[in-house]
Amino acid sequence: MSGSGAQSTLARVSCTALNIVGGSLEVLGFFVVAWELARVQRREFGAPKAWTKLRVWVRQRFGVSETVEMGAAIAGGGTVSAELTARYRIEGSMEDRVEALEKNLERLEKEVTQERRKLRGEIREVRQKLDELGAQVGQERQQAEEERKEALKSSLAFQWTGTGLFVVGAVLTTIGNIC
């Protein structure tokens, strides 16, 4: 066997190896990107209905149970009631009646003033609680958004890795096809 024939065989083997390695890297890169995109979609939009039904069927069929934790929070609010009463009877002469009406009016004005103060205090408390809840919701929203961004950043690393593997595989396969 001549040196040229051995080199030709070696070239064919290395070209075939490049094709195999390149094709394998392409497939691996494709699957890394597809897996990561599917993971992101499940996290952002939930699992597809068909996938969920299949999982339930498999779990029921093979007796695999899943623990589900649920929680509930109830935010209570206060009720406000006011009761105004007139306490002086209106009997007697016109002057007595006017005097009784003036006393009733004074008493009612005092009660209304007290109720207004009480209501203003309750309104202040409710506003303060609403402000606190609003701030808490804002913080939770911001934290959730930051967590989401971090998850997407890690997802991008997987996607770029898969894309790089695919490109390297495509280049190696092209080189293998040329030689």
Percent of the chain with pLDDT over 70: 78
Q: What is the pLDDT of residues 52-66, one digit of tens each?
A: 888 778 777 876 655
User: If residue 36 lies in a helix (H) or strand (E), which one and from where to where?
Assistant: helix 3-45
Q: What is the pLDDT of residues 19-72, one digit of tens each?
A: 888 889 898 888 888 888 888 888 888 877 887 888 778 777 876 655 544 444
Are 8 and 169 in contact by the 8 Å Cβ rule? The answer is no
- Cβ neighbours of residue 147 closer than 8 Å, sequence gap 6 or more: none
- Cβ neighbours of residue 113 closer than 8 Å, sequence gap 6 or more: none
pTM equals 0.45
- CA-wise closest residue to 174 among 30, 21, 28, 9: 21
Q: Which three-class secondary structure state does DSSP give residue 42? A: helix
Residue corresponding to tokens 């890690």 = 154
